[in-house]
Structure 1
Amino acid sequence: MNFMLTIDGQPVSTGAMLDVINPADETIVAKCPQGNREIVDAAVAAARRAFPQWSAAPDAERVAKLLEIADLIQNHSKELAELITLEQGKPQSGPGANQELKGAAAWTRATASLTLPEQIIQDDAAGKILVRRKPVGVVGSITPWNWPLLIAVWHIMPALRVGCTVVIKPSPFTPLSTLRLIELMSKVLPPGVINAVTGGPEVGAHLTTHPNVDKIVFTGSITTGKQIMRGGAATLKRMTLELGGNDAGIILPGTRIEPLLEKLFWSCFVNAGQTCAALKRLYVHADQYEEVVRNFADYCATIPVGNGMDPKHLIGPLTNRMQFEKVAGYVEDAQARGARIVLGGRKPPGPGFFYPLTIIADATHDMLVVTEEQFGPALPIVKYTTVDEAIAYANALEVGLGGSVWGNDPQVAAELAGRLECGTAWVNQHGALHPLAPFGGVKCSGIGVEFGVDGLKEYTTAQVISIAR
């Protein structure tokens, strides 16, 4: 299959080509065009030309288009899910590529259902004041490699819903599923409403600093998010930034662990741990520590890891060599500082970026695997003696995307979860998202929120109409 960029409703290629690598065997899946500054300029110009007509379209028309796109996603789900497995690695089974496609269709439909009606502030003999939400303009979207198609949907659909036009740049590690999605969308949307470019940091920097881009939505690292903020300052661009997590989970003293093992596993290791809102450091009371470590390691040892195209595998490889080496380095650092590797910790023989499910006991806050977001299938388990100590540990880092508290009494756990410094606090689960509930971080985990009415507003500006009578 040939993969092309989409600009102004037309397929576009370039002289340079990019190899897309299958992380399961390190072979080349496909080649796609490599974008450049001129390609970005053309895409932004197309989005700017399309904006007046699209933003003025009747609300019902935009709703109908989103529902049509949701049907396209559903009807092409097998093809798109296979592309995700081949370029990103997540399995066809379990909460993997097919689940990503189900989520993409569901989020599109949920976004279509949202409305931003006028708000009347005053309506009396003196006058009338109302507030309208207007689309911000051209949106530049930069998506990561961990959930390439689902996060593209999270960025694109609310923008289209309110009348914005979009230029999206997927990660160079995983461009294929996004390029195919945009190709499909371009068949039902007016030319220029949705455009796709590719490229590395230089292309991304040009998009985020482009004077004709009104808003940037970015999901990725804290370091890159700060660079984007600096780049957008010259034109005071609107920003939605969903950045790193390193989420903490706290198991309360005396918690019955066996009923929670499956939930706990997927909270930590969905997508081989490559999820911003995954549980990445687990705090367990000293009285129960060895029991939890042993039981959880035993459970993890039963989960099959391998090539995601084989339906028996539930966990796939890391997406690229860079991430594999990062995770391996963090585990080696923990071992050097006295940690016990209870499970995993060594790469299996053969090709691919497979790292085994790894449980790290006796983890402490001087280890990189605790203080840095490892973004892989290696879980440090930290011992605590009081709940106040555990909460202080959980809140000690510069990040605050999510956190969770696990216990026998959900009400008690919920009260303690409210003390966590994070955008979402879960009880007896972690990472569960809802398309109508706002999602975002505090501290260095980001700015703004996604999903629901609050997320929809991020793609608009407020205009007050004040009428004297």
Structure 2
Amino acid sequence: MTISTTGRPAGFAVHNPATGAVIGEAPNMTAADLDRAVARARAAQPGWAAASDDQRAEVCRALAALLTDHSEELARLLTQEQGKPLNGLGSRWEIGGAAAWAGYTAGLSLPPKVLQDDAAGRVELHRKPVGVVGSITPWNFPVLIAIWHIVPALRVGNTVVMKPSPLTPLAALRFVELASAVLPAGVLTIVTGDDRAVNLGAEMSSHPGIDKIVFTGSIATGRQVMRSAAGTLKRLTLELGGNDAGIVLPDADPGLIAEGLFWGAFINNGQTCAALKRLYVHDDIHDQVCEALVEYTRNIPVGDGMDEASILGPLQNRMQFDVVSGLVASAANRGQVLLGGKPGEGLFFPPTLIAGLANGDPLVDREQFGPALPIIRYTDIAGAVAAANDNPNGLGGSVWSSDPDAARALALQLECGSVWINKHGAVQPNAPFGGVKSSGMGVQFAEEGLAENTVAQVVFG
């Protein structure tokens, strides 16, 4: 850990959602600890910004190497605190993705742009670091999302103070500890707390020493971050909740798309902002799509993530388990449960498919953030687009068809930041990612995301 305090902070327990066992303890820090972290970050920032672009790129590559070298250690820690399996699209995949993202971001740069150079004069656009960036990360992808926040900020000369979710702080703490071997002191610090006596996220959002907040989480908390940040006019990048819609056109092949539909909806047990959360299927193939999805889903092993045979694990916490249970119970009374539907032991909930629902049903209208997919029958494509857009969220969407050109044309009608054709949720580091409507502001990834960690300065010569 990179923050020193007077004495050792009291700790709070971190639990394994698969077993309920305590797997570790994290420091329960105070507002004074945050002040010290911010002061250290502010002191370190000018020196870090003064490093050459190549030097910062090399350090970011070193962070990627650390993730690779310690991948199994971090994956096992991640599985124990978050619940996702080691295998499949689980913890090993997340750590590998984090390393790949860090490596790709290390290769990005924002050199000065010459906007004008003629007899009237020379005009240059320069990108300068914001200063100190505060990163607030959620519990669903604790390492990957931390890398999404941290590495672009560091790459362009900012220092970072990060706060992980109190539900999943251990892998983040270990990563920051490892990173201290390659980063100058104060460039990356971490604060942890259980958010009971002191809400460190709120303290960060209003802290005068933090110049920007990058937050990934719920819409409700995103609004709180905006309110807290208003007093200091902080810059913000907010990636908030989604209720992503997928539209299956009548020419799609149910057997070919079933696997993609499943993983679009159930990656990370549905605990993914850009997961497929509403599926609109044309009447012509509705029943065949349902049958193909049931057949694929029934063969997915669910269990303790430390069991190498498991492909899906438990929900991460009791609050989210109760949300999913309530929405599924309501949907079961309104539609037809095709598979699952009944809570398991502890925090385990089986992958659930429910047909016969429509806009207006809670499982369709609200973000479930769990392993339950509502399937909505439609007959008119324009009506399906209108239903997909009839939601305050606008993170992602997808179109499924045997005609990619027709699918792309339809994709442009969806009100969301990203649209995928015959897949869902496949973000990548060379493509900007962000939401519209209530799903956030700003983008991450690629040069556009890198630029969000800078301020523009125009030099007129």
- TM bucket by the smaller chain? over 0.9
CA distance in 1, matches of 2:293, 2:409: 25
CA distance in 2, matches of 1:414, 1:311: 38
The equivalent residue for 1:376 is 370
TM superposition shift of 1:439 = 0.2
Report whether the alignment pairs 1:105 with 2:102.
no
TM superposition shift of 1:13 = 6.9
Secondary structure class of the residue paired with 1:400: coil
Secondary structure class of the residue paired with 2:262: helix
CA distance in 1, matches of 2:100, 2:5: 27
Report whether the alignment pairs 1:236 with 2:233.
yes
Residue 126 of structure 1: which of 102, 120, 129 is its match?
A: 120
Deviations 1:119-148 (A, max 9, x none): 111112222110100000000000000000
CA distance in 2, matches of 1:118, 1:205: 35
The equivalent residue for 2:169 is 175
Counterpart of 1:165 in structure 2: which amino acid? T
Report whether the alignment pairs 1:140 with 2:149.
no
> After the TM superposition, which residues 206-355 of structure 1 pair with which residues of structure 2 at under 5 Å, given as runs?
206-336=203-333, 338-349=334-345, 352-355=346-349
The equivalent residue for 1:37 is 31
TM superposition shift of 1:305 = 0.5
In structure 2, stretches of 5+ residues that fail to align are none
**Contact 1:133–1:462 under 8 Å retained in 2:** yes
**Contact 2:254–2:285 under 8 Å retained in 1:** no
| More displaced stretch, 454-463 vs 58-67 | 58-67
CA distance in 2, matches of 1:223, 1:12: 35
TM superposition shift of 1:333 = 1.4
**Contact 1:73–1:104 under 8 Å retained in 2:** yes
CA distance in 2, matches of 1:196, 1:322: 25
The equivalent residue for 1:26 is 20
The equivalent residue for 2:404 is 410
| More displaced stretch, 91-100 vs 282-291 | 282-291
Deviations 1:201-259 (A, max 9, x none): 41110011000100000000001001111111111100000000110000001311101
**Contact 2:18–2:347 under 8 Å retained in 1:** yes
**Contact 1:248–1:404 under 8 Å retained in 2:** yes
TM superposition shift of 1:348 = 2.5
From the superposition, tell whether residues 320 and 12 of structure 1 become closer, same or farther in structure 2 (CA, over 3 Å).
farther
What do you get for the CA RMSD once the two structures are aligned?
A: 1.1
CA distance in 2, matches of 1:204, 1:13: 23
From the superposition, tell whether residues 113 and 54 of structure 1 become closer, same or farther in structure 2 (CA, over 3 Å).
same
Counterpart of 2:371 in structure 1: which amino acid? P
Give 4+ residue runs of structure 1 displaced > 6 Å after superposition. Answer: none
TM superposition shift of 1:60 = 1.0
Identical columns (%): 54
The equivalent residue for 2:424 is 430
**Contact 1:250–1:405 under 8 Å retained in 2:** yes
Secondary structure class of the residue paired with 1:86: helix
Deviations 1:21-51 (A, max 9, x none): 1010111111111111111111101000001
**Contact 1:13–1:33 under 8 Å retained in 2:** no
CA distance in 2, matches of 1:13, 1:131: 47
TM superposition shift of 1:12 = 8.3
The equivalent residue for 2:413 is 419
CA distance in 1, matches of 2:360, 2:63: 48
TM superposition shift of 1:287 = 2.3
The equivalent residue for 1:205 is 202
Counterpart of 1:409 in structure 2: which amino acid? D
TM superposition shift of 1:297 = 1.2
Secondary structure class of the residue paired with 1:35: coil
CA distance in 2, matches of 1:34, 1:341: 43
**Contact 2:259–2:293 under 8 Å retained in 1:** no
**Contact 1:6–1:12 under 8 Å retained in 2:** no
The equivalent residue for 1:440 is 434
Secondary structure class of the residue paired with 2:128: strand
| More displaced stretch, 379-388 vs 197-206 | 197-206
CA distance in 1, matches of 2:178, 2:6: 14
Counterpart of 2:353 in structure 1: which amino acid? I
